[in-house]
Amino acid sequence: MGYFIITDTNWARLRDEILSLAETCHKAFGEQSRHTDWLHNGDVCKLLNISKRTLQHYRDTGVLPFSQIGHKCYYKREDVERLLETKSVKSNTDKSKNNK
């Protein structure tokens, strides 16, 4: 397997071309383009108020789906929001049980 080094500028151009091509394909087939907002580890830890180790546990146990590119993990914003909702629902349920 070979490797290519690409500059930030060329990467941005390539990304924009790919997104443009995807948009054109979606329009041609009558579908709306849906670009996913991706978050990295630091963002997810801040949003969920968890440590990096807890985030790793979530990955290892399948609690939070992720994609990995090289050595970096990325998470869909929708998946993080879904987990945040389930955490808050569980937290509220636990509080109501303790008040009884």
CATH number at residue 97: 1.10.1660
Q: What are phi and psi of 98, to 5 degrees?
A: -70, -25
What is the per-residue pLDDT for 7? Answer: 94
Q: Which mean pLDDT values do the consecutive 10-residue runs of the chain (100 residues) have?
A: 90 92 77 70 93 96 94 93 83 63
| Residue 42, in any domain of the structure | yes
What is the per-residue pLDDT for 87? Answer: 78
Q: What is the DSSP string of 69-90?
A: ETTEEEEEHHHHHHHHHHHHHH
| Residue 7, in any domain of the structure | no
Domain residue limits at 69: 36-100
Q: Length of the chain, please?
A: 100
